[in-house]
Amino acid sequence: MSHSENAPSDSSCGIKNILLTGGSGFVGVHLLASILSHTDARVICLLPGGAIPEATQRLAFGLERHQLTVDLSRVDILLGDLSKPRLGLEESHYAELQQLLDLIIHAAADVSLFREYGQLKEVNVDGLGRVLEFANGVRRIPVTHLSSYSVFNEASYREEQVVFEEPLHRTKPIFRNGYAKSKWMAECLCEQAHTTGAPVKILRLPYILGAASTRTCNPNGYIDLTLNAMLLTSLAPELDFRLTCLPVDICADLIVRISLHSQSTPFIFHLTPFEPIPWSEICEAASNYVHNLEQLPAIEWYQHIKKCALTHRELFPVVALLAQDPSLMQFRSNIYRLRFDISNLTPYLGEAPAFPQNRSTYLRRYMESVAKI
């Protein structure tokens, strides 16, 4: 079914300068490539770092790692810091940028799953607050904020079956996870800005897999690291969940398409156009890469991985990541059973979505990339 007749009008012709935060990250480099492909705009990447060459090198490394070729002559590197007043910019640069920009895509975040909320608040909440303050100064600049489906891990959603593209429940949030709480609180800031007329959009992203076009993976993603450990040891944890996910290049394409439209409503979108993948299907794809994949209870699996790490240094990252969750309780969270409404997203999809290629083929080839982490 085609949705093109109902697709919102594209306003990209009036967008000349775009500020991108988090541009050197996994999603960020794909966003940069997508912006440059979809528009003629210049992109100003606000990056942390002590010097321009260092930040430029980090960006170039990310692009190369994910096999992305872009026109860097249309990219300006700007050193900044979301944890500081005025985004860490000189007052004159701050004011100049406010006059220059036509759009902000805010992708920067600390995605550490097991850090406490207090450790994440400075970047994920206060940093967004500074971006919104900047965008609503002398003139209003549209902001696209990348949120996460993890906001639905809040306790009040435990009895829900389907969650909708609407503001979050107005109760005091209860979370086990500091990251999810930080994304919740960030959304609250966006909702408050929206009620004042600020042109802000909230995009809730699921777990982001490697690109459909290149299948390069996220070397720091917790699912990717778990799969890497499985391939290295031929051992898999016994789990029962469904992974709502999206290849990163399709994710970047949707973010840019939604951001380029000027409509103020709807302003909340679930980037979840595909059916979730059962863990059993993921394990099947892994078993096609390594024969005789043995499944163990989660805690037993973790203990084996921890022991194997003594002789396989490449397992250190996943052992460190899961040290605070050795029973893999996170996979019992709300987001691994919920269904996500996409009524607001649907007009932006064009043709009805289908997973890239054949899903089993994609996953099998994805394992090849995961094995190289």
pLDDT band at 19 (very low <50, low <70, confident <90, very high): very high
Q: What angle do CA 124, 129, 132 make, to 5 degrees?
A: 125
Tell me, what's the pLDDT at 280?
96
Helix ranges, the chain (H):
26-38, 52-65, 91-100, 117-121, 127-135, 178-195, 222-233, 248-259, 279-287, 298-308, 316-322, 359-370
For 268, phi then psi, to 5°, come to -120, 130
Question: Which of 174, 31, 42, 39 has the alpha carbon at shortest distance from 109?
Answer: 31
At the fourth CATH level, which superfamily is domain 14-211+245-274+337-354? Answer: NAD(P)-binding Rossmann-like Domain (3.40.50.720)
Range with lowest mean pLDDT among 5-19, 118-132, 202-216, 265-279: 5-19
Integer Rg of the chain from CA: 20
For residue 338, CA distances in Å to 54, 163, 169 come to 42, 7, 16
pLDDT band at 27 (very low <50, low <70, confident <90, very high): very high
Is 5 a residue whose pLDDT tops 50?
no
Tell me, what's the pLDDT at 323?
92
More confident residue, 346 or 13: 346
Contact 244, 207 (CB under 8 A): yes
Is 20 a residue whose pLDDT tops 80?
yes
pLDDT band at 312 (very low <50, low <70, confident <90, very high): very high
SS3 162: strand
Query: Would you list the domain boundaries of the chain?
Result: 14-211+245-274+337-354
Tell me, what's the pLDDT at 2?
42
- The gap from C-alpha 259 to its chain's centroid, in whole angstroms, comes to 15
Tell me, what's the pLDDT at 357?
67
Is 4 a residue whose pLDDT tops 50?
no
Tell me, what's the pLDDT at 227?
96
Contact 128, 155 (CB under 8 A): no
Is 256 a residue whose pLDDT tops 60?
yes
Is 318 a residue whose pLDDT tops 80?
yes
Give per-residue pLDDT as tens, 78-89. 999 999 999 999
Tell me the mean pLDDT in the region 269-291: 94
Is 75 a residue whose pLDDT tops 80?
yes
In whole angstroms, give the CA distance from residue 372 to residue 219: 9
Segment of 29-43, 157-171, 256-270 carrying the highest mean pLDDT: 29-43
Range with lowest mean pLDDT among 98-102, 322-326, 352-356: 352-356
pLDDT band at 213 (very low <50, low <70, confident <90, very high): confident
Model-level pTM?
Answer: 0.94
Tell me, what's the pLDDT at 3?
46
Tell me, what's the pLDDT at 262?
80
Is 197 a residue whose pLDDT tops 50?
yes
Range with lowest mean pLDDT among 3-7, 198-202, 304-308, 360-364: 3-7
Give per-residue pLDDT as tens, 288-300. 889 889 999 999 9
Averaged confidence pLDDT in the chain = 92
